[in-house]
Amino acid sequence: MNAPIRHGGNLREAARRYAIPVDDWLDLSTGINPHGYPVPPVPPDAWRRLPEDDDGLAESAARYYGAPLALPVAGSQAAIRALPALLRQGTAGVAPLTYGEYAPAFARVGHVIAPLDVAAHDLPDTFDHVIVANPNNPSAERLSRDTLLRWHARLASRGGTLIVDEAFADVDPAASLANETAREGLIVLRSVGKFFGLAGIRAGFVLAAPQIIDALRASLGAWTVSGPARHAVEAAFADIAWQHDTRARLQRDGLRLTDLLATHGFDVQATPLFAWTRTPKAPELQDALARRGIWTRLFDLPGMTPSLRLGLPGTEGDWARLTLALQEICA
Question: The domain that contains 149 carries what CATH number?
Answer: 3.40.640.10
Same domain for 58 and 185, yes or no, is yes
> Is 269 inside a domain boundary?
yes
> Is 260 inside a domain boundary?
yes
Which range of residues forms the domain containing residue 306? 11-36+241-330
> Is 171 inside a domain boundary?
yes
Task: Supply the pLDDT for residue 1.
Answer: 41
> Is 5 inside a domain boundary?
no
> Is 65 inside a domain boundary?
yes
Question: The domain that contains 26 carries what CATH number?
Answer: 3.90.1150.10
Same domain for 205 and 281, yes or no, is no
DSSP state of 24: G
φ and ψ at residue 205, rounded to 5 degrees: -145, 145
Buried b (16+ CB within 10 A) or exposed e, 316-330: eebbebbeebbeebe
> Is 177 inside a domain boundary?
yes
> Is 3 inside a domain boundary?
no
Same domain for 146 and 64, yes or no, is yes
> Is 1 inside a domain boundary?
no
The whole-angstrom separation of Cα 203 and Cα 79 is: 11
One-character DSSP codes across 173-199: GGG--GGGTTSTTEEEEEESSSSS--G
Per-residue pLDDT tens digits for 155-185: 999 999 999 999 999 999 988 999 999 999 9
Share of the chain above pLDDT 90, in %: 92
Task: Specify burial of residue 3 (Cβ count, 10 A radius: 0-12, 13-18, 19+).
Answer: exposed
Same domain for 109 and 172, yes or no, is yes
Per-residue pLDDT tens digits for 71-104: 999 998 899 999 999 999 999 999 999 998 999 9
| Of 108-112, 301-305, 321-325, minimum mean pLDDT range | 301-305
List, in order, residues 6 or more apart from 274 with CB less than 8 Å away.
30, 31, 137, 138, 140, 168, 254, 257, 309, 310, 311, 312
Q: Indicate the angle between helix axes 11-18 and 282-290, nearest 10 degrees.
A: 80
Element at 143 (helix H, strand E): none
Same domain for 96 and 220, yes or no, is yes
Per-residue pLDDT tens digits for 229-251: 999 999 999 999 999 999 999 99
For 70, the 3-state DSSP assignment is: coil
From first CA to last CA, the distance across the chain in angstroms is 43
Same domain for 288 and 159, yes or no, is no
Task: Specify burial of residue 101 (Cβ count, 10 A radius: 0-12, 13-18, 19+).
Answer: middle
Contact 166, 302 (CB under 8 A): no
Of the three residues 238, 262, 285, the one that is the final residue of a domain is 238
Same domain for 266 and 294, yes or no, is yes
Domain tally for the chain?
2
Same domain for 78 and 193, yes or no, is yes
0.85 exceeded by the pTM? Answer: yes
Same domain for 213 and 90, yes or no, is yes
Same domain for 181 and 210, yes or no, is yes
For 16, the 3-state DSSP assignment is: helix
